[in-house]
């Protein structure tokens, strides 16, 4: 039996479902019947995976179901469900616990269970292992448990199989079995000594990015006061072939990982009497920059004798990064909400979101608008939030009255154009 079960068919689980189907029998599980029906109709609900990829997976025999009793058919079970934060920024493990509750009665001797959801160090051994063993198994003997952090980069150029795979098992046998199974898809294995190490690897990767984003966004805000082009500074500094990694400013942090993962670490640190002050400060800075952009919008309109309440504003890009259909935790949604609540006529354009993305916080009934030279001249301000390749920036530059590029702000060619 070499069948793999993938639980949670979102941005992490769906590419695993596609790639494992090239090598072994694959079943995808999700509680969302709409997702399952879409896949079984050979359609994709994530745009950077085309319908053709789903069709090929189905033709190879990949299945999708809401019937969790079929977990018993699998040799390897991979959990890829969300791990958000509570309102108090504590880890929210309800989705992982819900999955374990759904599948525990269908587990079989000899299976391998892998958690890929980002989490705090200790989750695998302190939370999951006791639940498995409460069903009568002995982890490391007749059941095998590992943690292997997801490393998805939506819209990135590196294919999943070429991204090294970190694996940490509860025992060496667990690790070895995990390496053996994952190597069917991934070309390079990176075994580590324990699940805690693997859990911390993921947190460190995203803490590194969050801290540097906080730094460069603070740098941008100071450069704005100096009237200096932040992007030009970063690009020139990036010419140094050692000791520097370029980070570019933006409207804040977004995506499921970067705004969430650092707080998993700072929460766990408190258990050991430590405060992750530097990491928490970076979080504050990445949230502060959203407020700074709101003030910048008000200031630019005021300079034109316009109030937000009687202005017409266009936002370019709702996704949290360029060229993807992912608006999870996107600062663009916060900015849209701010402008709307302040009485402005606000519209957006994003080729990846024909309809405004519905989230836990926002539920606007608006559609993406098309951009042309006539429509651009109708807006008092165009705010560039996400730079999609689909946008014609020359057209925007020529016909918009005023542009705010949230990556950095300064005046160009005596025109009311602000960019970084």
How far apart (Å, rounded) are the C-alpha atoms in residues 313 and 403?
10
User: Is 272 in the same domain as 189?
Assistant: no
In a domain, 230, yes or no: no
User: Is 180 in the same domain as 312?
Assistant: no
Give the C-alpha distances (Å, rounded to integers) separating 342 from 190, 309, 329, 337. Answer: 50, 6, 21, 9
User: Is 310 in the same domain as 181?
Assistant: no
How far apart (Å, rounded) are the C-alpha atoms in residues 173 and 141?
8
Domain boundary among 169, 193, 217: 193
User: Is 182 in the same domain as 296?
Assistant: no
User: Is 109 in the same domain as 185?
Assistant: yes
Domain boundary among 167, 193, 219: 193
User: Is 39 in the same domain as 166?
Assistant: yes
What is the full per-residue pLDDT of the chain (420 aa) written as tens digits? 589 999 999 989 999 999 999 999 999 999 999 999 999 999 999 887 889 999 999 999 999 999 999 999 999 999 999 998 888 889 999 999 999 999 999 999 999 999 999 999 999 999 999 999 999 999 999 999 999 999 987 767 788 899 999 999 999 999 999 999 999 999 999 999 999 999 999 999 999 999 999 999 999 999 988 888 888 899 999 999 999 999 988 888 877 777 788 888 999 999 999 999 988 888 888 889 999 999 999 988 988 888 888 899 999 999 988 888 888 889 999 999 999 999 889 999 999 999 999 887 888 999 999 999 889 989 999 999 988 888 888 888 888 888 888 876 544 444 445 443
In a domain, 44, yes or no: yes
Torsion of CA 138, 142, 147, 148, to 10 degrees: 180
Query: What is the CATH number for 9?
Result: 3.40.50.720
User: Is 186 in the same domain as 300?
Assistant: no
Which of 174, 64, 183 is CA-nearest to residue 114? 174
In a domain, 408, yes or no: yes
Domain boundary among 193, 226, 247: 193
**pTM of the shown model:** 0.87
Total count of domains within the chain:
2
Give the C-alpha distances (Å, rounded to integers) separating 237 from 25, 137, 231, 243. Answer: 48, 55, 10, 10
User: Is 39 in the same domain as 180?
Assistant: yes
Question: Under a CB-based contact definition with an 8 Å cutoff, are residues 419 and 412 in contact?
Answer: yes
Separation of CA 10 from chain center: 11
In a domain, 227, yes or no: no
Q: Which residues are catalytic?
A: 257
98: domain range? 4-193
In a domain, 224, yes or no: no
């Amino acid at each position: 039996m070499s069948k793999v079960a993938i639980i949670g068919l979102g941005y992490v689980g769906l590419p695993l479902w596609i790639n494992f189907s090239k090598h072994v029998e694959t079943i995808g599980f999700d509680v969302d019947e709409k997702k399952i029906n879409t896949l079984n109709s050979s359609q994709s609900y994530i745009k950077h995976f085309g319908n053709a990829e789903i069709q090929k997976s189905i033709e190879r025999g990949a299945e999708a179901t809401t019937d969790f009793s079929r977990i018993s058919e699998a040799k390897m079970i991979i959990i890829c469900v969300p791990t958000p934060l509570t309102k108090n920024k504590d880890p929210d493990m309800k989705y992982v616990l819900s999955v374990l509750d759904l599948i525990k009665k269908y587990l079989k001797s000899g299976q391998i269970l892998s958690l890929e959801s980002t989490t705090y160090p200790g989750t695998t051994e302190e939370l999951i292992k006791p639940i498995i063993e409460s069903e009568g198994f002995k982890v490391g003997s007749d059941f095998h448990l590992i943690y292997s952090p997801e490393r998805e980069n939506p819209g990135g150029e590196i294919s999943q199989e070429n991204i090294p795979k970190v694996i940490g098992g509860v025992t060496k046998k667990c690790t070895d079995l995990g390496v053996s199974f994952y190597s069917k898809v991934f070309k390079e294995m990176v075994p580590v000594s324990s699940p805690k190490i693997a859990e911390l690897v993921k947190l460190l990767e995203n803490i590194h990015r969050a801290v540097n984003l906080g730094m460069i966004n603070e740098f941008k805000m100071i450069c704005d006061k100096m009237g200096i082009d932040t992007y030009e500074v970063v690009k020139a500094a990036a010419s140094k072939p050692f000791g520097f990694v370029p980070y570019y400013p933006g409207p804040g942090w977004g995506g499921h990982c970067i705004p969430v993962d650092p707080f998993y670490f700072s929460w766990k640190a408190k258990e050991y009497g430590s405060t992750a002050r530097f990491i928490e400060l970076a979080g504050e800075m990445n949230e502060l920059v959203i407020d700074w952009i709101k003030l910048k919008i008000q200031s630019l309109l005021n300079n034109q004798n316009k109030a937000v309440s009687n202005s017409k504003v266009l936002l370019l890009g709702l996704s949290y990064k360029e060229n993807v259909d992912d608006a999870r935790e996107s600062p663009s949604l916060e900015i849209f909400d701010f402008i709307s609540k302040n009485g402005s006529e606000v519209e957006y354009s994003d080729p990846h979101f024909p309809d405004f993305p519905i989230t836990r916080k926002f539920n606007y009934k608006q559609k993406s608008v098309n951009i042309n030279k006539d429509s651009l001249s109708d807006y008092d301000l165009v705010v560039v939030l996400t730079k999609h390749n689909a946008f014609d920036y020359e057209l925007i530059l020529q016909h918009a009255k005023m542009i705010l590029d949230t990556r950095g702000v300064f005046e160009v060619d005596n025109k009311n154009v602000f960019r970084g």
